[in-house]
Amino acid sequence: MRILMLSYYYPPHAAVGATRAYLVSRHLAARGHDVTVVAAKPQPGGIDETKFPDWEAPLDGAVRVIRTGAAEGLMAKVKEGVYRLAGSTGGTGGANYQATVTAASRRTRDAGWGGRLAAEVLRIARSDLIPEREATWNPEAVAVGLREIRRARPDAIYVCARPFVSFYAGAILKALTGIPLVLDLRDPWSLLPHHDAVTRRIARSQERPLFAYADKILINTRTSLRRYQELYGPQIAGKLFCVPNAMSAFPETENGAPPRFPSNFVVMHGGNLYRRSITPLLLAFERLCEERGLDPTQAQLRQVGRIDVDTFDPDVVERLGDRMCIEPFVPFADFQRFVDEAAVLVVLLGPAHWLRIPAKFYECLAAGRAVLFMGPPDHEVVQVLEEELECGVGANAGDPEDLYRALVRLYDEVVPRLRARGVPREKLRAWHWESRIEEIEAVLFEVSGELYR
């Protein structure tokens, strides 16, 4: 089957959106499909070849990548000009981007009706969703797509978000050629809680006609699937299909045996704390150590990565002594050593992840370690860990008592079980890209009218 994929972000671009497009394209190609990817050239400073060290490695079925000019600079300059007119300064990328718009919004919201209007515009723009600075890429993406379709007509067009405006390029190509269109939403952009109500309404006004026109829409969590089905009704609900992300490797050694567990009870959180306090976890860990008589050689709690002073109680850290280890800056190459030394890996749900499954969850599965998921008890990750895979426990991030009960279960039940035999491979396969790509392949066969074999 021939597949034309549109994805603004693609390796070696460092954006999160590059990961799913990269894995889907390469796994489809490995299964013998002819995949052509139309992607933007990474902007200077946006390249990270260490994240995808094998992104140019040859495959049995090659992925053909066509780079188009990244025209986001124009839209970025327009948006920056708006901020400067509002009395702001600064850049339009990353933290500077958010700080610029937030500062401008605060300065204008109390300056009469004109200021309030400007603040409303800036508040909407703060999401970097409307208008997307990648929007000016679409004309070239459509032109290149049409050229590729004339060269070798594909059986399906597959578009990966983000940016959301890429969907328009896919819709235009379908309108001009009649080729079936699959939209991979990746994340539920119009449902995300950190977007304000106005932004979500505008996003939904774009989603509805695009969803109605597409042949299939892929969403990466069951919770988001149910929310979209309720939001858009039965006509669009029939097109929605849940294909979560997955891990890229099974947790096993070279001889196929389960990974070796450390003999001590090391609980590790790596990465961003989203400025949330981990004091409840420290208190729960302190209680476990006291009640079980665990010294630093038997149990240790590790925070690897940046940590803010307001995210923990220094008195509790002092009481824990050597049972608490903070490694604020660790080179990426050394991070795996900390993972290998841990018995339990912590996944802390960030403020924007309520409807998503954090990428760290899949990394924990691939590591073959027990997982402590700190988030809402009704999050779908809890069901996966406790019922489907039986390799972890969920707990409320702000409740020391709930976290203590979770640590007890991990110490008494989960870690000894995984240390003895690991998670059965047949269970893990459902959360591996081997399984996911079969689901995506079935969708592509369905929309293209090909017989699924």
Which range is least confidently modeled, 306-310, 344-348, 352-356, 385-389?
306-310
My answer on whether omega of the bond before 12 falls inside 30° of 0, hence cis, is: yes
Computed over every residue of the chain, the mean pLDDT equals 82
Length, in residues, of the chain: 453
State how far the Cα of 233 lies from the Cα of 226, in Å rounded to an integer.
11
Q: Which fold has domain 2-70+134-246+433-448?
A: Rossmann fold (3.40.50)
- Nearest to residue 171, comparing CAs of 190, 152, 145, 200? 145
**Which of the pair, 27 or 193, is modelled with greater confidence?**
27
Q: Is residue 80 within 8 Å of 91, Cβ to Cβ?
A: yes
Instruction: Output DSSP code: residue 33.
Output: -
Most confident of 126-130, 204-208, 316-320, 371-375: 371-375
Sheet of strand 156-160, all strands in order from the earlier edge strand to the far edge: 63-68, 34-40, 2-6, 156-160, 181-186, 216-219, 240-242
State how far the Cα of 128 lies from the Cα of 253, in Å rounded to an integer.
42
Say what the pLDDT of residue 296 is.
93
Among left, alpha and beta (phi > 0; psi -120 to 50; other), residue 233 is: left
Among left, alpha and beta (phi > 0; psi -120 to 50; other), residue 256 is: left
Say what the pLDDT of residue 274 is.
74
pTM: 0.81
Task: Summarize pLDDT for 257-302 with one digit per residue, the tens.
Answer: 666 788 899 999 988 787 788 899 999 999 999 999 999 999 999 9
Say what the pLDDT of residue 120 is.
58
State how far the Cα of 195 lies from the Cα of 191, in Å rounded to an integer.
8
State how far the Cα of 220 lies from the Cα of 243, in Å rounded to an integer.
5
Say what the pLDDT of residue 82 is.
53
State how far the Cα of 352 lies from the Cα of 350, in Å rounded to an integer.
6
State how far the Cα of 41 lies from the Cα of 181, in Å rounded to an integer.
24
Asked whether the predicted pLDDT for residue 214 surpasses 80, the reply is: yes
Which tokens belong to 141?
């993406």
Which tokens belong to 128?
């970097």
State how far the Cα of 123 lies from the Cα of 105, in Å rounded to an integer.
7
Domain with CATH 3.40.50.2000 in the chain: 2-70+134-246+433-448, 265-425
**Which of the pair, 218 or 17, is modelled with greater confidence?**
218
Which helix (H) or strand (E) element contains residue 326? strand 324-327
State how far the Cα of 42 lies from the Cα of 358, in Å rounded to an integer.
24
CATH superfamily, domain 265-425, is: Glycogen Phosphorylase B; (3.40.50.2000)
Task: Summarize pLDDT for 381-408 with one digit per residue, the tens.
Answer: 999 999 999 999 999 999 999 999 999 9
DSSP H helices, 72-111, are 72-85, 94-108
Asked whether the predicted pLDDT for residue 413 surpasses 70, the reply is: yes
Token pair 């597949």 is found at: 3
